[in-house]
């Protein structure tokens, strides 16, 4: 029951207390419904009161936020812990993309760009412009501008505009440089007679010192780095003035580097920029001077020149060592960046290289040309020994010893690189006997190295390799520097073990690596020794064979794994060299291969390391392959007979790999992988003859047999080999294969010219051999697929190989012309049946194969008119039937496209048969394309609906392309295509096709007008424009959400675009005037009614018309101004904007500080 002051919920009249109904509207006021109504009214009243309070609070918050707008521009307000302001679905402020550049960055960019532009303008003014003033007048103007530019930064710094002061000061420095140029050019105080480089050096030195002092007094932050940059040139210029030539240049570079090093080491900790510039410049100049002196040392043979280069190198080394020693030691743990120890080591390495080069350069003058490299190696060995002695016996700094040792190692590496070509020639050149096997070798080993090559090395190569091996062996026994054994190494770790025991592992690994390197260098020495001593051929090859056998034996007997592997690798390389060298004479070949086979087999049998056993097994297989090749040839067997003997090695390898005792071991893997080598060699031996295909096919069968025997991963190896060889076998009969595959495509050169030369080739032994090889390869591929994936893979492979087999077999068996394409069509029908009956990949591959066979039959049928029509009709029926009955959606789509394409080809063929004109064939094709529209609409829910529609579109494009040479027929075809597009737009989901149809119709009209030599297109396009705009206006009235581009763009473009094209080629003024007026009206209308299409189209046309009319005048006006004026104006504007920007930022920071102090 409501209280006395409550109004009636229905009419609002005040109610007395305890009434059962409203006395005015008779609304019942008792019962549960009335009580719920009173509760709803009371809740709504509370909500209204709460809303009023929230509106008042909102107004207060808005006022407070507007007061803080300036502070927020200066710096972002810290985000509170509460929720982030935003609408539902809107990203919070933190997730919005940040601005690309901060205000200080923008300010600095503006100031820097303004200063650069003003500097460019000043240079242009001084050098090339205002010639009527004379250089004296320009110098006076520049001097006044310089004084002003140097005085302004003082005032700017007082007003706390530091960035602007830096920019203006930079301009003043540039003007000061120009002042020095003007002073010399005017001959002030006889400066024009002073040496140019010397004058420039003095000026730059004075400017550098003066600018550093000026920047320190004014407080410029960039003055010191700029002064250091200027100081990089005086020494170089002074050296070139006093001592012209390369030596003077190197002296200047080193002096500049010394200056940079002194500045970098003496600068205070706060001068990071100066230190970085000094370090970078010192490194560049010092390294350039040292490298130049190094080049001088390498290129001279005179004692005095070598001494001068050595002195320069010594100076560079002293500079690098002094800098490395003076660098402070790091106080913090080493991080990601290089620390002072790293830089010290690098500098010490540069110094070591310079010292070694200096000593070696002096030795060049007294040693023979072949032995000069030994002088550098001796210097490196001496340096390395000295460093080792100093590091182990004295307190020589570790960071310096590390760098010097690295320099010696680098020189050793360089010397080895010098010896590498001779070593590579000694190892690889004997393999050249493979092209001249058993031709006989000269007596000397150097002359017998290769049939066409004499060893280019000398005994110095062997000395270098032996010395390097000795150094590596000695280094493997060195315990390291003395300062590594610190007190920390004698402490025990947490487990109680001696720390020196923990440090023994890295030393052991280093020693092992050095031992392996020493073994490699020793093996290289043994390989080069016969050539260095020029031993007879009959002695050199046995030496290499015995050395290889010794290394192989060592690989089997040595306990350490890394040493055993190194011996095996070296022995294998030497065995290859010995094998190639033995090919010079027949007895040597058989003896060497037999000994190597024995050595490899023994190593594989005795070795414990799996890698050694596998590699030795591979070597034994290769040696056996060589014997299988050389033995029959030595007995007079032809090459193809030797090919079968070599292929027997492959079979033997597979048989051994299948032995139960070897399964799961590395020997089995080696036999399986390396066994492919004899197969490939057999193919290579048979390639010159007709037996290449059969040999390859037999090799593929061997691989298939291995695949049946091998489980798991070995089966994959055999399958890979089988697939590769099955694909290679037909390709080895490439001419016959290409002839057979190209036969169906011959009619493309002369369609419907008769079938006199289109019959299949005569049945010969070569053609039957090709057919057999193709069939055998296909069988191998099918069997390999069956082994790999079962029946499904076998069916897929059968379908994929069927087209090639059909074409090759029908083209190689002498079938007459009608029968050959008929066989291919029947094979295609079988493939279509498989594609319709199967699912998955099999169906898809069968469909593709059927289409390939159909395409071959179609091209083959082009020889005769009737055959073409029959085959194309059959192709259409077969593809359509497969599309209707197929169980796979991709197959239905694929064959549906093929059916439409075949129907188009049939229509074009019928048209050509009636009237042989290509343009006329376009219209039957358009008829087929038009037929696809309702068919695609009917099948739109099926997978083939969209492919049929897309194929129809492609057919329409092809039909239009057929009429490209006849403008009248082109216009007609475009019009018909537009009608087809408009018909497509009847579908609810293809409304956008109406736009394409409209464009096609308009384009057809334009082409027709151009063909009729119409020069005023507006008379024909204006009615279309008016009608299109009216239709668009009516559509927008009916559908306000319709885009203005859809409603008005076609109509406006129909007139404005052709008129714009005509206006750009019209020399008169009425057309541009009228077009510009119309474009302006359209633009204003678009702006008035907020329509994007009229606004953008009108504005674009108006801008293009204006540019066309005003461009010549603007170019003439700009061309009359001096060239330095535009950059000067732009620079002044940017400088002013930057200064204003900095001033506003300063004011905002002050306001923020004031508000912060107030709070």
DSSP string, 306-352: HHHHHHHHHHHHHHHHHHHHHSPPP-S---SS--HHHHHHHHHHHHH
Structural domain of residue 927, as residue ranges?
832-945
**Of 747, 908, 901, 922, nearest in space to 821 by CA:** 747
Q: Are 251 and 199 part of one and the same domain?
A: yes
Q: Are 220 and 363 part of one and the same domain?
A: yes
Q: Are 58 and 196 part of one and the same domain?
A: no
Could you give the CA distance from residue 987 to residue 981 in angstroms, rounded to a whole number?
11
**Which of 321-335, 413-427, 669-683, 1097-1111 is predicted with the least confidence, judged by mean pLDDT?**
321-335
Count the residues in the chain.
1159
Could you give the CA distance from residue 530 to residue 422 in angstroms, rounded to a whole number?
13
Could you give the CA distance from residue 434 to residue 771 in angstroms, rounded to a whole number?
34
pLDDT tens digits along 352-393: 888 888 888 888 777 777 788 888 888 888 888 888 777 766
Could you give the CA distance from residue 922 to residue 775 in angstroms, rounded to a whole number?
42
Q: Is the pLDDT of residue 825 over 70?
A: yes
Task: For residue 1036, name the pLDDT band (cuts at 50, 70, 90).
Answer: confident
Task: For residue 608, name the pLDDT band (cuts at 50, 70, 90).
Answer: confident
Max avg pLDDT among 282-286, 401-405, 714-718, 1060-1064: 282-286
If you average pLDDT over residues 1010-1015, what whole number do you get?
67
Does a structural domain hold residue 682?
no
Q: Are 357 and 410 part of one and the same domain?
A: no
Name the helix (H) or strand (E) containing 1067: none
DSSP 8: P
Q: Are 178 and 215 part of one and the same domain?
A: yes
Max avg pLDDT among 124-128, 145-149, 785-789: 785-789
Task: For residue 94, name the pLDDT band (cuts at 50, 70, 90).
Answer: very low
Could you give the CA distance from residue 794 to residue 777 in angstroms, rounded to a whole number?
14
Does a structural domain hold residue 552?
no
**Of 936, 841, 857, 937, nearest in space to 896 by CA:** 936
For 7, list phi and psi in degrees, rounded to 5: -85, 170
Max avg pLDDT among 174-183, 442-451, 547-556: 547-556
Does a structural domain hold residue 1034?
no
Could you give the CA distance from residue 1084 to residue 1095 in angstroms, rounded to a whole number?
7
Q: Is the pLDDT of residue 734 over 50?
A: yes
Does a structural domain hold residue 867?
yes
**Which of 572-581, 780-789, 1059-1068 is predicted with the least confidence, judged by mean pLDDT?**
1059-1068
| Angle formed at CA 927 by CA 926 and CA 931, multiple of 5 degrees | 115
> First vs last Cα of the chain: how many Å apart?
55
Task: For residue 79, name the pLDDT band (cuts at 50, 70, 90).
Answer: very low
Give per-residue burial for 400-424: e unless 16+ CB within 10 Å, then b: bbbbbbbbbbebbebbbebbeebbe
* Alpha carbon separation from 487 to 125, 482, 500, 506, 1027 (Å, rounded): 71, 12, 10, 18, 100
Structure tokens at 356: 């070694």
pLDDT of residue 90: 42
pLDDT of residue 189: 64
Token pair 């697929």: residue: 785
The answer to whether 137 and 126 have CB atoms below 8 angstroms apart is no
Among 945, 971, 994, residue at a domain's last position = 945
pLDDT of residue 83: 43
Q: Is the pLDDT of residue 596 over 50?
A: yes
Query: Which residues lie across from 147 on neighbouring strands?
Result: none
Q: Are 345 and 398 part of one and the same domain?
A: no
List CB contacts of 417: < 8 A, sequence separation 6 or more.
none
Structure tokens at 547: 């050395």
Does a structural domain hold residue 796?
no
Q: How would you classify residue 607: left for phi > 0, otherwise alpha for psi between -120 and 50, otherwise beta?
A: beta
Could you give the CA distance from residue 153 to residue 150 in angstroms, rounded to a whole number?
6
Token pair 């960071």: residue: 399
Q: Angle 372-393/398-428 helices, nearest 10 degrees? A: 150
Q: Are 357 and 225 part of one and the same domain?
A: yes
DSSP 529: H
Q: Angle 692-709/676-686 helices, nearest 10 degrees? A: 160
* Alpha carbon separation from 373 to 206, 361, 418 (Å, rounded): 47, 10, 8
Structure tokens at 870: 């029959």
pLDDT of residue 1090: 77
Structure tokens at 509: 């690994």
| Angle formed at CA 392 by CA 389 and CA 395, multiple of 5 degrees | 100
Q: What is the mean pLDDT of the chain?
A: 77
The answer to whether 706 and 655 have CB atoms below 8 angstroms apart is no
pLDDT tens digits along 11-22: 777 777 667 788
| Angle formed at CA 1076 by CA 1073 and CA 1079, multiple of 5 degrees | 150
Token pair 């609906």: residue: 945
Structure tokens at 226: 């700029």
Could you give the CA distance from residue 157 to residue 1020 in angstroms, rounded to a whole number?
71
Q: Is the pLDDT of residue 845 over 50?
A: yes
pLDDT of residue 88: 40
Q: Is the pLDDT of residue 70 over 60?
A: no
Q: Exposed/middle/buried for 890, CB within 10 Å: 0-12, 13-18, 19+?
A: middle
Could you give the CA distance from residue 464 to residue 687 in angstroms, rounded to a whole number?
45
List CB contacts of 717: < 8 A, sequence separation 6 or more.
672, 673, 706, 710
* Alpha carbon separation from 650 to 622, 678, 706 (Å, rounded): 11, 6, 11
pLDDT of residue 24: 74
DSSP string, 690-752: TTHHHHHHHHHHHHHHHHHH--HHHHHHHHHHHHHHHHHHHHTTHHHHHHHHHGGGGGGTSTT
Does a structural domain hold residue 162?
yes
**More confident position, 749 or 545:** 545
**Which of 40-49, 158-167, 989-998, 1010-1019 is predicted with the least confidence, judged by mean pLDDT?**
1010-1019
pLDDT tens digits along 216-257: 888 787 778 888 888 888 888 888 778 777 878 888 888 888
The answer to whether 709 and 694 have CB atoms below 8 angstroms apart is no
The answer to whether 263 and 278 have CB atoms below 8 angstroms apart is yes
Q: Are 26 and 151 part of one and the same domain?
A: no
**More confident position, 1066 or 562:** 562
Among 945, 976, 991, residue at a domain's last position = 945
Query: Which residues lie across from 536 on neighbouring strands?
Result: 444
* Alpha carbon separation from 45 to 49, 542, 598, 668, 676 (Å, rounded): 6, 115, 109, 93, 94
Q: Are 359 and 389 part of one and the same domain?
A: no
For 453, list phi and psi in degrees, rounded to 5: -145, 135
User: What are the helix (H) ranges across 816-888?
Assistant: 819-837, 840-860, 865-885
Report the Cα 110 to chain-centroid distance in Å. 35
Virtual torsion, Cα 473, 479, 483, 487, nearest 10 deg: 160
Task: For residue 110, name the pLDDT band (cuts at 50, 70, 90).
Answer: low
| pTM score of the predicted model | 0.53
Could you give the CA distance from residue 847 to residue 836 in angstroms, rounded to a whole number?
8
Does a structural domain hold residue 600?
no
Task: For residue 498, name the pLDDT band (cuts at 50, 70, 90).
Answer: very low
Q: Exposed/middle/buried for 940, CB within 10 Å: 0-12, 13-18, 19+?
A: middle
The answer to whether 861 and 868 have CB atoms below 8 angstroms apart is yes
When divided into structural domains, the chain yields a total of 4
**Which of 629-643, 866-880, 1138-1152 is predicted with the least confidence, judged by mean pLDDT?**
1138-1152
Q: Are 161 and 210 part of one and the same domain?
A: yes
pLDDT tens digits along 680-697: 888 888 877 777 788 888
Q: Are 228 and 347 part of one and the same domain?
A: yes
pLDDT of residue 211: 84
The answer to whether 444 and 539 have CB atoms below 8 angstroms apart is no
Q: Are 306 and 399 part of one and the same domain?
A: no
Q: Is the pLDDT of residue 207 over 60?
A: yes
Does a structural domain hold residue 470?
yes
pLDDT tens digits along 982-993: 788 777 777 777
Gyration radius (Cα) of the chain, Å? 46
For 424, list phi and psi in degrees, rounded to 5: -65, -40
**Of 879, 867, 969, 866, nearest in space to 918 by CA:** 969
List CB contacts of 1097: < 8 A, sequence separation 6 or more.
1049, 1052, 1053, 1056, 1082, 1086
**Which of 75-79, 954-958, 1074-1078 is predicted with the least confidence, judged by mean pLDDT?**
75-79
Strands (E), 387-442: none
CA pseudo-torsion sign 592, 594, 597, 599: negative
pLDDT of residue 195: 73
Q: Is the pLDDT of residue 901 over 50?
A: yes
CA pseudo-torsion sign 149, 151, 155, 160: positive
């Amino acid at each position: 029951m409501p209280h006395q002051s409550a109004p009636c919920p229905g009419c609002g009249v005040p109610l007395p207390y305890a009434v059962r109904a409203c006395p005015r509207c008779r609304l019942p006021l008792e019962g549960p419904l009335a009580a719920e109504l009173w509760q709803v009214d009371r809740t709504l009243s509370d909500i209204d009161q709460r809303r009023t309070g929230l509106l008042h609070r909102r107004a207060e918050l808005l006022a407070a936020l507007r007061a803080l707008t300036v502070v927020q521009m200066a710096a972002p307000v810290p985000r509170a812990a509460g929720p982030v302001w935003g609408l539902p679905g809107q990203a919070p402020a933190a997730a919005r993309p940040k601005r690309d550049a901060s205000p200080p960055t923008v300010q600095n960019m503006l100031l820097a760009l303004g200063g650069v532009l003003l500097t460019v303008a000043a240079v242009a003014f001084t050098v090339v412009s205002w010639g009527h003033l004379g250089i004296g007048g320009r110098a006076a103007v520049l001097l006044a501008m310089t004084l002003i530019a140097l005085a302004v930064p003082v005032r700017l710094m007082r007003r706390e505009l530091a960035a602007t002061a830096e920019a203006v000061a930079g301009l003043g420095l540039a003007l000061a440089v120009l002042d020095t140029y003007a002073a010399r050019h005017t001959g002030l105080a006889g400066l024009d007679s002073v040496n140019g480089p010397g004058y420039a050096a003095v000026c730059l030195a004075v400017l550098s010192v003066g600018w550093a002092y000026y920047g320190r007094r004014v407080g410029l932050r960039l003055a010191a780095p700029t002064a250091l940059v200027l100081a990089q040139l005086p020494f170089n210029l002074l050296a070139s003035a006093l001592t012209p030539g390369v030596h003077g240049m190197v002296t200047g570079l080193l002096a500049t580097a010394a200056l940079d090093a002194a500045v970098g080491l003496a600068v205070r900790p706060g001068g990071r920029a100066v230190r970085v510039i000094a370090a970078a410049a010192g490194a560049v100049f010092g390294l350039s001077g040292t490298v130049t002196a190094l080049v001088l040392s390498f290129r001279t043979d005179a004692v005095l020149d070598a001494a001068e280069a050595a002195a320069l190198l010594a100076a560079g080394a002293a500079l690098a060592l002094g800098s490395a020693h003076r660098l402070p030691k790091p106080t913090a743990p080493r991080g990601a960046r290089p620390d002072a120890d790293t830089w010290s080591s690098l500098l010490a390495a540069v110094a070591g290289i310079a010292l070694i080069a200096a000593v070696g350069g002096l030795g060049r003058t007294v040693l023979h040309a072949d032995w000069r490299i030994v002088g550098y190696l001796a210097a490196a060995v001496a340096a390395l020994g000295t460093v080792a002695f100093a590091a182990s016996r004295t307190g020589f700094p570790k960071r310096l010893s590390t760098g010097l040792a690295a320099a010696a190692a680098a020189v050793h590496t360089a010397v080895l690189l010098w010896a590498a070509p001779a070593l590579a020639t000694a190892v690889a050149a004997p393999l050249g006997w493979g092209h001249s096997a058993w031709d006989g070798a000269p007596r000397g080993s150097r002359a017998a190295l290769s049939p066409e090559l004499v060893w280019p090395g000398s005994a110095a190569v062997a000395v270098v390799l032996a010395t390097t091996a000795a150094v590596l062996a000695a280094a493997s026994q060195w315990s390291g520097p003395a300062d590594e054994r610190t007190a920390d190494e004698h402490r025990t770790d947490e487990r109680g073990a001696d720390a020196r025991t923990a440090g023994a592992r890295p030393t052991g690994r280093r020693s092992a690596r050095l031992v392996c390197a020493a073994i490699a260098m020793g093996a290289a020495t043994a390989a080069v020794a016969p050539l260095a001593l020029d031993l007879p051929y009959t002695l050199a090859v046995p030496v290499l064979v015995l050395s290889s056998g010794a290394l192989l034996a060592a690989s089997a007997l040595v306990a350490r794994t890394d040493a055993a592997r190194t011996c095996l690798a070296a022995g294998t390389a030497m065995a290859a060299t010995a094998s190639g060298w033995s090919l010079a004479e027949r007895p040597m070949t058989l003896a060497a291969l037999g000994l190597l086979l024995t050595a490899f087999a023994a190593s594989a049998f005795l070795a414990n390391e799996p890698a050694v056993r596998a590699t030795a097994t591979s070597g034994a297989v290769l040696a056996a392959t060589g014997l299988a090749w050389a033995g029959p040839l030595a007995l007079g067997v032809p090459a193809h007979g030797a090919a079968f003997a070599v292929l027997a090695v492959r079979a033997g390898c597979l048989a051994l790999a299948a032995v139960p005792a070897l399964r799961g071991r590395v020997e089995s893997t080696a036999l399986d992988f390396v066994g492919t080598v004899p197969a490939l060699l057999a193919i290579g031996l048979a390639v010159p003859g007709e037996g290449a295909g059969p040999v390859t096919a037999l090799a593929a069968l061997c691989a298939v047999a291995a695949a049946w025997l091998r489980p798991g991963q070995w089966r994959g190896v055999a399958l890979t080999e089988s697939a590769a060889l099955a694909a290679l076998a037909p390709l080895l009969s490439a001419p016959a294969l290409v002839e057979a595959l190209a036969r169906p495509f011959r009619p493309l050169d002369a369609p419907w010219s008769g079938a006199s030369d289109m019959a299949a080739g005569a049945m010969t032994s070569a053609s039957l051999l090709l057919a057999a090889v193709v069939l055998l390869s296909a069988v191998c591929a099918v069997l390999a697929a069956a082994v790999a994936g079962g029946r499904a893979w076998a069916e897929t492979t059968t379908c994929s190989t069927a087209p090639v087999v059909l074409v090759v077999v029908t083209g190689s068996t002498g079938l007459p012309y009608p029968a050959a394409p008929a066989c291919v069509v029947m094979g295609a029908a079988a493939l279509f049946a498989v594609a319709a009956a199967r699912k998955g990949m099999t169906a898809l591959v069968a469909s593709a194969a059927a289409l390939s066979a159909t395409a071959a039959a179609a091209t083959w049928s082009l020889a005769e008119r009737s055959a073409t029509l029959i085959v194309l009709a059959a192709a259409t029926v077969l593809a359509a039937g497969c599309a209707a009955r197929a169980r796979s959606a991709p197959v239905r789509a694929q064959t549906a496209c093929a059916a439409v394409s075949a129907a188009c080809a049939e229509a074009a063929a019928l048209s050509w048969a009636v009237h042989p004109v290509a343009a006329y064939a376009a219209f039957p094709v358009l008829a087929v394309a038009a037929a696809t529209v309702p068919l695609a609409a009917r099948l739109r829910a099926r997978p083939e609906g969209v492919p049929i529609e897309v194929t129809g579109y492609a057919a329409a494009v092809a039909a239009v392309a057929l009429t490209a040479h006849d403008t009248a027929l082109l216009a007609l075809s475009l019009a018909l295509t537009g009608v087809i597009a408009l018909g497509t737009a009847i579908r609810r989901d293809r409304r956008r096709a109406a736009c394409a149809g409209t464009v096609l119709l308009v384009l057809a009209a334009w082409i027709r007008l151009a063909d009729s030599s119409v020069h005023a297109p507006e008379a024909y396009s204006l009615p279309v424009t008016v009608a299109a705009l009216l239709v668009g206006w009516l559509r927008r009235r009916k559908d306000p959400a319709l885009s203005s581009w859809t409603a008005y763009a076609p109509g406006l473009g129909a007139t404005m675009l052709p008129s714009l094209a005509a206006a750009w080629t019209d020399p008169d003024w009425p057309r541009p005037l009228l077009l510009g007026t119309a474009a302006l009206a359209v633009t204003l209308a678009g702006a008035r009614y907020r329509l994007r299409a009229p606004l953008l189209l009108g504005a674009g046309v108006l801008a293009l018309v204006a540019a066309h009319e005003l461009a010549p005048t603007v170019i003439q006006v700009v061309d009359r101004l001096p060239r330095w004026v535009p950059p000067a104006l732009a620079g002044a504007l940017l400088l002013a904007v930057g200064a204003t920007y900095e001033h506003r930022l300063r004011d905002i920071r002050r306001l923020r500080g004031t508000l912060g102090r107030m709070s």
